[in-house]
Amino acid sequence: MTAVTKYLLEESQMPRSWYNIQADLPKALPPVLHPGTLQPIGPADLAPLFPMELILQEVSTEREIEIPEPVRDIYRLWRPAPLYRAHRLEKALGTPAKIFYKYEGVSPAGSHKPNTAVPQAFYNAVAGTKRLTTETGAGQWGTSLAFAGNLFGLEVLVFQVRVSFDQKPYRRAVMETYGARCLPSPSTETVYGRAVLEARPDHPGSLGIAISEAVELAAQRDDTKYALGSVLNHVLMHQTIIGLESIQQMEMADTYPDVVVGCTGGGSNFAGIAFPFIGQGLRGGKMPRIVAVEPAACPSLTRGKYAYDFGDTGHMTPLTKMHTLGSSFTPPGFHAGGLRYHGMAPLVSHLKELDLIEAVAYTQVECFAAGVLFARTEGIVPAPEANHAVKGAIEEALRCKREGRAETILFNLCGHGHFDMTAYQKYFAGELTDETYDEQELAMALAGLPSVPAA
Ligand SMILES: *Cc1c(COP(=O)(O)O)cnc(C)c1O
């Protein structure tokens, strides 16, 4: 007999505020710089792209920011999200550790992304925005923004990275079901997209290019704003509802994590589960070990440089200090599309520099093996991105086994893999290989980092 495996919160226990880690940082974030003047930017510089409320959240140092009622109302469609104890996975591993996972795949898009898509659409609608542009890789973010934009009466235009657009036609169909328009990027609808296609007509696209296209259109029109699904401070803050719920659920389970694990693409789901725990530690509570898991084929935290860089390939964004592989770096076409970004959230990068978090990188085949073991024990088929977190948690559990330690491990199962079954088919056919990036390309991309004089 297995004991209770599921920790559910009442609707009334859903957090009323997001947590802003900027209130508790031992050292403030380095400033965001204007790419021309190299001077710190102010809120007005971002106004063509984002509504003021989100810009203010970006720079806020208030610890708690209230979740507006219309946002909470939509969150209630799937939140509070469940937290499970992975008894069967523990047993299969023979570990003395307790493994818990927070499941974000219960949202309409199947991942954590609607946690920020909904407030971003809300603040835009309140500010009078008519149209949102964005990029998407695997399609999770585009789906989430299509869902949220529709609920607030906004038009949504999604630039989807070409390889994913071709590989995952069902994602586009879901975006269209929610009323959005989805184009393959590079596209012919922007100056930047046309330039990329001219240089290379069969360009597979990248997140950095798709961001440039979406930003270009948003900057041109007053009624059009841009929405980003990760990386920015306000995005990470919206995701903290994951960790805030988890804190309550760990209390229900009568334990507290020794280790918190999340996968990192741009850093948002990782921040979502980890920041509330780090915050408790910074305010004098117990500080768990925090482990970020990234793909070995796009290893910004473990192999990148901590430096000022552009967020996009077309160099239209401000410069932020982050772990980066260089904005011209195109990762190989591995299957965790959501983890194919050249940079890392400035907040996550900053915490890494402060030694408050650790980072590890795993290759895709070992991550799929972990995901399959998880599916066969716990029943949920994880997204390829989430397989990295599963792998990270399993490695921690096996370490506990070797050391004979009954630690508590918590990880974020950030999404299900129902739209990624082609990747699983390839895995079972033995066709999935460990793609590696080109060292020379990485060296070149890093050599091309903008030069910014030390502050
Ligand atoms: C987008 C996505 C990611 C990567 O983005 P983060 O900002 O690092 O969370 C990871 N997992 C899933 C399921 C995603 O959709």
Q: How is residue 333 written in tokens? A: 């076409």
Question: What pLDDT is stored for residue 335 in this prediction?
Answer: 75
Q: Do the Cβ atoms of 187 and 204 come closer than 8 Å?
A: no
pLDDT for res 452:
87
Residue 3 confidence (pLDDT): 64
The Cα 390–Cα 411 span in angstroms is 7
Question: Pocket around ligand 1: residues whose beta carbon is below 6 Å from it?
Answer: 111, 113, 140-141, 230, 263-270, 338-339, 383, 385-386, 414-415
Half-sphere exposure of 415 (CA within 13 A, CB side): 31
In angstroms, the CA 397 to CA 408 distance is 9
The answer as to whether 452 is a domain residue is: no
Rounded to the nearest whole angstrom, what is the distance from the C-alpha of residue 156 to the centroid of ligand 1?
Answer: 20
For a substitution probing ligand 1, which of 113, 120, 175 has the most ligand atoms within 8 Å of its CB?
113
Owning domain of residue 315: 5-13+66-110+234-447
Please state, as a whole number, how many other Cβ atoms lie within 10 Å of the Cβ of residue 12.
Answer: 6
Pair (118, 100) in one structural domain: no
**Residue after which a domain boundary falls, among 232, 264, 281:** 232
The answer to the question of residue 42 being in a domain is no
Q: For residues 272 and 374, state if they share a domain.
A: yes
Judgement on whether residues 386 and 262 belong to the same structural domain of the protein:
yes
CB-count exposure of residue 282 (10 Å: 0-12, 13-18, 19+): middle
Q: Which residues of the chain have pLDDT under 50?
A: none
Q: What is the pLDDT of residue 1?
A: 53
Residues 9 and 106 in one domain: yes
pLDDT at residue number 138 = 86
Mean per-residue pLDDT over the chain, rounded = 95
Tokens, residue 3: 């004991």
Residue whose CA is closest, atom 14 of ligand 1? 338
Same-domain check for residues 224 and 239: no
Shared domain for 191 and 94, answered yes or no, is: no
Query: Do residues 259 and 332 lie in contact, with contact meaning Cβ atoms separated by under 8 Å?
Result: no
Q: Quick one: which of 200, 210, 161 has its CA closest to 327? A: 210
pTM value surpassing 0.95: yes
* The predicted structure's pLDDT at residue 139: 93
Residue 41 lies inside a defined structural domain of this protein: no
For residues 84 and 119, state if they share a domain. no
| Residue 339 and residue 228 share a domain | no
| Same-domain check for residues 324 and 426 | yes
pLDDT of residue 222: 94
Indicate which CATH number applies to the domain containing 159: 3.40.50.1100
pLDDT for residue 23: 98
Whether 76 and 158 share a structural domain: no
Within a domain: 60:
no
What pLDDT shows up at residue 2?
58
Q: What ranges in 200-341 are assigned the alpha helix state H?
A: 207-220, 233-239, 241-252, 268-282, 300-303
Picking from 176, 206, 232, the residue at the C-terminal end of a domain is 232
Q: Could you tell me if 98 and 179 are in contact, meaning their C-beta atoms sit under 8 angstroms apart? A: no
